[in-house]
Amino acid sequence: MGIRVNHLFYFILSLLISFAMIAQSSDDCVYTTYIRTGSIWKAGTDSIISLSLSDSSGNSINITNIETWGGLMGPDYNYFERGNLDIFSGRGKCLDAPVCALNLTSDGSGAHHGWYVNYVEVTSTGAHIPCAQQLFTVEQWLGTDVSPYELTAIRNACPVPEPAPPKPEFI
C-alpha cells in the first residue's frame, strides 16, 4: 500500500510540474537561427557573438551570447569558422509580429576577431503564432581592422508604414 501511494504521489507531482512548465512556457517562442560565415580567407572568428531580433513594432529579444544560448552543433564544435553554416535554437518571449530586423554584434575578442558574415536566417514559431521566416543578407566584415570598421551589422526588412493622406484644406 505504501509503495502504491508513493508512486501515485510522484505521478501527480510530475504531472503538476509538467503543467506548470507548459503554462509558463506558453508565452515563449522558439527562434532558430542559421548563420553562414563567408568562405573568404580569414573569414572566421573566435569572438563572442550577440544577436538582437526585432519586429515591426520595435519589440525585440536580445541574445548576449548566441553560442551558449542555443548552439546546436555540439560541445567541441568551433563556431563561426570559414565556410560554416552554424545553427542555433532557443526560446525567448514571443514578439507581436514576425522578426524583420536584426542587430548582429561581435565583441571583438579572441585572437581572430574579424568575421565575414554572408547571411543570417531566422525562423520563429510559438504555440499560438504562425511560423515565420526571414532571410537577412549581410555580406559584411564585422571587425575593426577591415572596412567598414564596424563590429555590428544592422539589417532592417521591416515594412515602412504608408504615409497618411494629406488633410484637405478649407479656405
Closest CA to 135 of 116, 152, 118, 159: 118
What is d(CA 114, CA 150) in angstroms, rounded to the nearest whole number?
10
Q: Going along the chain, which residue ranges are E strands? A: 28-37, 49-54, 60-63, 85-93, 101-106, 115-126, 129-142, 152-156
Q: Which of 26-35, 43-52, 121-130, 160-169 has the lowest mean pLDDT?
A: 160-169
Is 169 or 33 the better-scoring residue by pLDDT?
A: 33
Tell me 71's DSSP state.
B
Look at residue 163 in the predicted model and tell me its pLDDT.
75
Closest CA to 100 of 156, 31, 39: 156
What is the band of 8 on the pLDDT scale with cuts at 50, 70, 90? low
- For the chain, the residue count is 171
Closest CA to 138 of 156, 160, 158, 112: 156
Q: What residue ranges define each of the domains in the chain, with the CATH number in brackets? A: 28-82+98-156 (2.60.60.20)
State the cell numbers at 117: 558574415
What is d(CA 82, CA 108) in angstroms, rounded to the nearest whole number?
17
Say yes or no to pLDDT of 12 above 80.
no
Calculate the average pLDDT of the chain. Answer: 86
Percentage of residues of the chain with pLDDT beyond 90: 67
CB 101 within 8 A of CB 157: yes
Look at residue 161 in the predicted model and tell me its pLDDT.
76
Helix, strand counts (H, E) of the chain: 2, 8
Mean predicted confidence (pLDDT) in 44-58: 95
Say yes or no to pLDDT of 168 above 50.
yes
pLDDT tens across 92-123, in order?
999 999 999 999 999 999 888 899 999 999 99
Look at residue 35 in the predicted model and tell me its pLDDT.
97
What is the band of 64 on the pLDDT scale with cuts at 50, 70, 90? very high
